[in-house]
Amino acid sequence: FTPPSTPTPPTTTTTNTRTDTLLLLHSSQSGHEKRTHRPSIAPLSPHTGATSSSGPIGSSSGVTTVHPFPPNPRLPATKYSEQILHDEIHRLRHTLNERNDDVDTLVYEVVRLREWNQRAKIANEARSNDLTLLRKEAERLKHEFETRNRQNEDKVRWLTERLEEERRQCVEELEKRERLLREKDEMMARLQQRQVNEEDGVTRTMTDMEVRWKNDMGSPSPEKIGSGGRVPHRQYRETMSYDENKQVARVGGAPIMYRPPKQSGMASEGRAGFVERVQKRAVDSTTVLTDTPTMETYAQSSEIHAPWETAGESTMDSIVDQYMVESQQSKSTISTSDLPMDTPARQSLPSTFRLTPIPGKGLGIITTQSIPAGQVLGEYKGEVIDASTKDRRYLSSQSHEQTPQDWEWRQSRLDRGQGVTGTYLYGVTQPNEESVYVDAEDEYNSLWTRFINHASPPGDNVDPKSSCETWNGEPRVWFVSNRDIDAGEEICFDYGDDYWLPDDNVV
């Protein structure tokens, strides 16, 4: 008889793995408890056959009953065999119990594994669902990201364009401001030119010409100024018709009568020459003086507005344009001296004076400040010409003597819209008894004093004074207040009787 070998516990690698797994499961559900419920197989008693309440007789765990050999001599052989059988049965029962235990354990573990598997499956499914959701979410986020990215790119492009536009506008604005600042500087320079002449006590312009004079000659003072001057001499007016009987020529309704020359030394052509001149006067004369200016707006236009003060609306150009339109609408004859050009003569006007239309006189000068007596207001300046030049230029009877230069001179006047009337001449007798004339008709070669009108005493408020001192051989003529002048008064001096013709409408 070969005793059965001790049952091998399920300790294969797989089993071990399972055991490891089971150990984990034991932690959550005790295998020991299960075992306690497992029905055990009780061993039979060797003698009575009753189940033994004690532990197993023989076991694979090494508690094998050792039978003495030779058997107990005191027992008969049958008894001995019976005893052995009992022991064997007992041992087998024990072994069976153990195997049952193992089977139970295995069953239990299988159940555990199934449960675990089930759970793992559920978890897997859940994870798979999660994964699907995550994938969808990732897809959504990716899509959203791409959309936003596109939107952002559009936004960045838009902002870049806006930025570029803003930058361009800023540059333009800066250039505009710089231009305005330049214009402002120019304007300031002009205004500075109109600063108060402290030395004379009267605000007036120091033009380049005056500065030149001042530097060369020193400032004029009433003491230095003599009284040998003569008022401007009217030489002739452009005429359109001549009334032989009345010996009156007419220009736009204004009569001009020939006056024989007086002892003043004024250039004269004589009656015959006058008649001849009037009859032959070319009708193509473009320069006609009218004493009734129609430009109501000129008062404003004579002021120079800085563009930054008037939002660019009242610049000299727009004023000129406006006035030209108004003049054309009124269909009136425009005197060239009424044109609101920004000429040096008009620019030289001091800020304390206004150049404005005076009824019946054309343009005139109004003071905005009171001026005490004895003050030098300004200088009468212009082209200084000798008597023969004056005659050639302004007397048509002398036209046969006119040189090409005289015609160029005349054309230049007309091209620049300047008059050729000869009504702005101021004669000065020099120490050698010869007369020279200051011709202030050309606004590009004169000062604001050319606009001073005539008033007979006591209506006049300034006297012309001329000095024998000369600068480069040229005379100096100044206006000095002969009484206190109120603000708002027109500045006038007495032209003298020689100036006017009998039918002149002297206001």
Ligand X SMILES: C[S@@+](CC[C@H](N)C(=O)[O-])C[C@H]1O[C@@H](n2cnc3c(N)ncnc32)[C@H](O)[C@@H]1O
Residues found near ligand X in the complex (CB under 6 A): 232, 234, 291, 337, 360-364, 423-424, 450-451, 453-455, 506-507
Q: Supply the Cα-derived Rg of the chain in whole angstroms.
A: 66
Q: Is 256 exposed, middle or buried (0-12, 13-18, 19+ CB in 10 A)?
A: buried
Q: How far is the CB of 383 from ligand X (least distance, A)?
A: 14
Q: Is 324 exposed, middle or buried (0-12, 13-18, 19+ CB in 10 A)?
A: middle
Q: How far is the CB of 480 from ligand X (least distance, A)?
A: 17
Cβ–Cβ under 8 Å, residues 450 and 440: yes
CA dihedral for 380, 381, 384, 387, sign (positive or negative): negative
Q: How far is the CB of 220 from ligand X (least distance, A)?
A: 21
Choice between 98 and 238, CB closer to ligand X:
238
Q: How far is the CB of 307 from ligand X (least distance, A)?
A: 27
Choice between 210 and 439, CB closer to ligand X:
439
Number of Cβ within 10 Å of residue 38's Cβ equals 14
Please give the full DSSP string across 47-68, using - where no structure is assigned: TT-PBPSS--SS-TTS-PPPPP
Residue 334 is classified by DSSP as P
Q: Is 503 exposed, middle or buried (0-12, 13-18, 19+ CB in 10 A)?
A: middle
Number of Cβ within 10 Å of residue 242's Cβ equals 20
Type of residue found at 316 = M
- Locate all alpha helices (DSSP H) within 193-263, ordered by sequence: 208-217
Choice between 25 and 358, CB closer to ligand X:
358
Choice between 109 and 441, CB closer to ligand X:
441
Spatial separation of the C-alpha atoms in residues 130 and 107, rounded to whole Å: 34
Residue 212 is classified by DSSP as H
Q: Is 49 left (phi over 0), alpha (psi -120 to 50) or beta?
A: left
Q: How far is the CB of 451 from ligand X (least distance, A)?
A: 5
Q: How far is the CB of 485 from ligand X (least distance, A)?
A: 17
Type of residue found at 215 = N
β-bridge mates for residue 425, sequence order: 233, 439
Choice between 43 and 427, CB closer to ligand X:
427
Nearest to 455 by CA among 366, 377, 380: 366
Q: How far is the CB of 296 from ligand X (least distance, A)?
A: 15
Give the residue nearest to ligand X (CB). 362
Choice between 209 and 506, CB closer to ligand X:
506
Spatial separation of the C-alpha atoms in residues 218 and 226, rounded to whole Å: 16
Residue carrying structure tokens 């065999």? 81
Choice between 82 and 503, CB closer to ligand X:
503
Q: How far is the CB of 428 from ligand X (least distance, A)?
A: 15
Beta pairing, strands 492-493 & 453-454:
parallel
Choice between 43 and 229, CB closer to ligand X:
229
Choice between 305 and 361, CB closer to ligand X:
361
CA dihedral for 400, 402, 407, 408, sign (positive or negative): positive
Spatial separation of the C-alpha atoms in residues 424 and 443, rounded to whole Å: 11
Contacting residues for 212 by C-beta, under 8 A, at least 6 apart:
471
Spatial separation of the C-alpha atoms in residues 201 and 77, rounded to whole Å: 172
Choice between 15 and 356, CB closer to ligand X:
356
Q: How far is the CB of 168 from ligand X (least distance, A)?
A: 48
Choice between 229 and 362, CB closer to ligand X:
362
Q: How far is the CB of 292 from ligand X (least distance, A)?
A: 10
Q: Which two tokens stand for residue 363?
A: 């343009």
Choice between 43 and 422, CB closer to ligand X:
422
Spatial separation of the C-alpha atoms in residues 446 and 384, rounded to whole Å: 11
Q: How far is the CB of 444 from ligand X (least distance, A)?
A: 14
Spatial separation of the C-alpha atoms in residues 359 and 410, rounded to whole Å: 29
Q: How far is the CB of 311 from ligand X (least distance, A)?
A: 31
